[in-house]
Chains A and B, each alone.
Chain A
């Protein structure tokens, strides 16, 4: 790799001040049995008072490790092996545990990635906030309780006083993230480290939370070190960008400059792959209104031309509906106290059709019922009312041989590539399992079919003997796709199949899916919360909210002239959507 270009991250006006955070030649490694494995290799960055700086990179790039080194929270085997981290002139790498305890919380706040796992499930919300306030000497006793309520209210929990005694599981993901932001800012630290603070949240919630975080840190004059894998998000939220790749800084500078004119090939790939930006690119290519500038910004270094070409030429085919969903409703009964039950209307009287060879996207936030629709179509849940037809045949009461045949033709791919593969099964066995279940072919034929499938999903033949634990997230999802394709199905139901993947990997998997669709004439039902991804792959879109379809149209129509307010809200929430084109 070439030597990283060193670009000063300071703006002209602040050149005179001492920086709040100055990282020089930082090296962090993880001790393993084979010696020290470097994770961060010579990182430089400078952050001034009141600035927001984003570190962008894929998983394994060392961006989180850098942030953890700053606050002294490297996991067990991690160790700073060189360089310095100066915070207000003190070198944090020389700090003892006790000194760090002084700085954490009060000087440097921390907002973690996953709100689901970052609050202790056995203590109440109030307890966990109050604890931070007391530990940092902000207030004690009754005053601390009062301050807790204020902190939570500032973080956007208006009914904080009533909810102090509730536990994390009684809060939604977005609410928990607000609590964590409240904790991070409770002692008014000078620096806030936000490590992918919203990547686990729905887009609209993500937007609200980031807006709120931005307001708070601006009001308090807090500097923010923002860690993210989404370049669009970073560019929208931070003035300064540092792009990391394999433990090194490959590019740094003002966000707009990097976005408009990425220098390093890796940055160019990131700009190309960010779905938020790629969807803008398609938009600008397709839209007659687009200016030359926007084409230039978003057309840079595109690696996924095939994907864009396919998306750009997409026409709804005129065939019959392969899947036809008519007025389906699903009611779940939720057990309440005693013998009483509550009814939850998960899917409320929806109808849509999926034409052969096309991709229909079901878009919505968590709780919108989109995954329930997938389960209903896959015959994994029973309908409360309505009809689902597949290839002209009603699926009601289907069983035995017919159900088996239906399952052969309609296969699912699920979200979590870590949870959906059996860790005890080799890749070869995993892919061959559907063939065994359907008693297809001899051992030799199955062996050959697995080879063929590995080729189709671009995995090396040697992968056959490996286990899921040895594969990356993207590779695992390829295995899951290969398994789904084993029976030569006609339909794939992709339930958030790319949501858990890094942008670059996501781009690759989407490319793969597009190629397979052309090659094998597949029909996709694509379930996602990410409209940016929809733009890349879908022909038709159904936007779901609260169990209903609020808008159903072709992808072009949805993106170009949607009249539905909820769809517009979702569109606006796509990170990077607010970056003005060609200013």
Chain B
């Protein structure tokens, strides 16, 4: 297992370089001059643009720019934004907020999704199951911002239980409502996934054998159905960690949260190469780590999946 994890860590090196290179290239290839765009309709004195370009190495060929960026990276320098703030400061401010939001959402969707899915799967065809399916379909088809505005209106304005916007520091408590919004679509998928998996496993031969052994229904469900049903759910959750980090952009917009999504969006619009690449690189690493975590969890849940030591 350790050997396997080590191997996977080594695999992250080419993934990291490949991803940063590609993203850097894409930012570079975006048409338009980011510096000229900064000044909008009021062109600065001639020579200023050139100077700013030189400061950000934008006058050099692409590959040199990339190598300079990577060189800086190894000295702990991720470059600066066009407003002169070190990228690392921006990251230190944005990532913890989004991470809190994503973790809360993950916890909500996993906990409630699995419970609702399990009950629906056990009562396939009954009222609870039918309602769960309809609600999940609704959550999947209605856009996130609609769910967001509705919850914001009901809980924030009508009932006054939560703040409609999140303050700058974004403490855990204020993030609960946004996390519910962010989790809604994934929650629906997890309900459906768990339900299908549970219903499937209920019909499995080994479940019948477990019943034939004389086990109680409760034990059959918790010991023999649930654990087997979690494997596909865990896969989904793993992939979802990544999407929750990135996909928070809409939710962050609705609740005015100063997280990763908004920052990257602004950086892309401004053409701030180092900012975009640094953020995306961290996300790539999160994706890879989440996938590694899923693979290790797999082995814990299902002994048939074993990795070479």
Chain B associates with chain A: yes
- Pick from A105, A117, A121, A122: contact of B214, CB under 8 Å: A105
Q: Are A135 and B219 in contact (CB under 8 A)?
A: yes
Scan residues 138-185 of chain B and give those whose CB is less than 8 A from a CB of chain A. Answer: none
Complex contacts, B211 vs chain A, CB 8 Å: 73, 104
| A313 CB within 8 Å of chain B | no
Complex contacts, A121 vs chain B, CB 8 Å: 206, 228, 302-304
Q: Are B212 and A106 in contact (CB under 8 A)?
A: no
A193 to chain B: closest residue by CB: B212
Complex contacts, A73 vs chain B, CB 8 Å: 208, 211-212
14 cross-chain CB contacts under 8 A = A73-B212, A101-B215, A104-B211, A105-B215, A110-B212, A113-B205, A117-B204, A118-B209, A121-B206, A121-B303, A123-B223, A128-B210, A131-B210, A180-B209
| A120 CB within 8 Å of chain B | yes
Complex contacts, A123 vs chain B, CB 8 Å: 223-224, 227
Alpha-carbon distance A124/B304, docked complex (angstroms): 11
Q: Are A135 and B205 in contact (CB under 8 A)?
A: no
| B217 CB within 8 Å of chain A | yes
Complex contacts, B212 vs chain A, CB 8 Å: 71, 73, 104-105, 109-110, 112, 184
Alpha-carbon distance A102/B213, docked complex (angstroms): 10
Chain A 281-318: CB-based contact to B (< 8 A → 1; otherwise 0): 00000000000000000000000000000000000000
- Pick from A110, A113, A120, A167: contact of B224, CB under 8 Å: A120
Chain A 54-82: CB-based contact to B (< 8 A → 1; otherwise 0): 00000000000000000101011000000
Interface segment, A331-339, A395-403, A483-491?
Answer: A331-339
Complex contacts, A554 vs chain B, CB 8 Å: none
Known: A117-B204, A117-B205, A118-B208. 15 other contacts (CB 8 A): A73-B212, A76-B203, A97-B217, A101-B217, A105-B213, A110-B213, A118-B209, A120-B206, A121-B304, A122-B304, A131-B210, A131-B215, A135-B214, A335-B308, A337-B308
Q: Are B309 and A169 in contact (CB under 8 A)?
A: no
A120 to chain B: closest residue by CB: B206
- Pick from B209, B214, B303: contact of A112, CB under 8 Å: B209
| A558 CB within 8 Å of chain B | no
| A132 CB within 8 Å of chain B | yes
Alpha-carbon distance A60/B206, docked complex (angstroms): 22
Alpha-carbon distance A80/B3, docked complex (angstroms): 55
| B301 CB within 8 Å of chain A | yes
Q: Are B216 and A135 in contact (CB under 8 A)?
A: yes
- Pick from A103, A106, A183: contact of B209, CB under 8 Å: A183
Q: Are A122 and B302 in contact (CB under 8 A)?
A: yes
- Pick from A101, A106, A167: contact of B303, CB under 8 Å: A167
| A119 CB within 8 Å of chain B | yes
Q: Are B205 and A136 in contact (CB under 8 A)?
A: no
| A114 CB within 8 Å of chain B | yes
Complex contacts, A110 vs chain B, CB 8 Å: 209, 212-213
| B residues lining the A interface (CB < 8 Å) | 3, 203-217, 219, 223-224, 227-228, 301-304, 308-309
Scan residues 216-260 of chain A and give those whose CB is less than 8 A from a CB of chain B. Answer: none
Alpha-carbon distance A131/B215, docked complex (angstroms): 8
Q: Are B304 and A169 in contact (CB under 8 A)?
A: yes
B201 to chain A: closest residue by CB: A120
Complex contacts, A135 vs chain B, CB 8 Å: 213-216, 219
Complex contacts, A338 vs chain B, CB 8 Å: 3, 308-309
Alpha-carbon distance A121/B228, docked complex (angstroms): 8
Tally A residues with Cβ within 8 Å of B. 39
Complex contacts, B219 vs chain A, CB 8 Å: 131, 135
Q: Are B213 and A183 in contact (CB under 8 A)?
A: yes
A107 to chain B: closest residue by CB: B214
Alpha-carbon distance A183/B213, docked complex (angstroms): 7
Q: Are B205 and A118 in contact (CB under 8 A)?
A: yes
- The list of the 9 closest CB pairs from A to B, nearest first, reads A105-B214, A110-B212, A132-B213, A117-B205, A104-B214, A120-B206, A167-B303, A118-B205, A118-B209
| A536 CB within 8 Å of chain B | no
Alpha-carbon distance A132/B217, docked complex (angstroms): 13
Q: Are A336 and B213 in contact (CB under 8 A)?
A: no
Q: Are A336 and B205 in contact (CB under 8 A)?
A: no
Nearest CB on A from B215, distance (A): 5
B208 to chain A: closest residue by CB: A73
Complex contacts, B208 vs chain A, CB 8 Å: 73, 112, 118
Complex contacts, B3 vs chain A, CB 8 Å: 337-338
Complex contacts, A118 vs chain B, CB 8 Å: 205-206, 208-209
Complex contacts, A527 vs chain B, CB 8 Å: none
A113 to chain B: closest residue by CB: B205
| A187 CB within 8 Å of chain B | yes
Complex contacts, A106 vs chain B, CB 8 Å: 214
Alpha-carbon distance A120/B207, docked complex (angstroms): 8
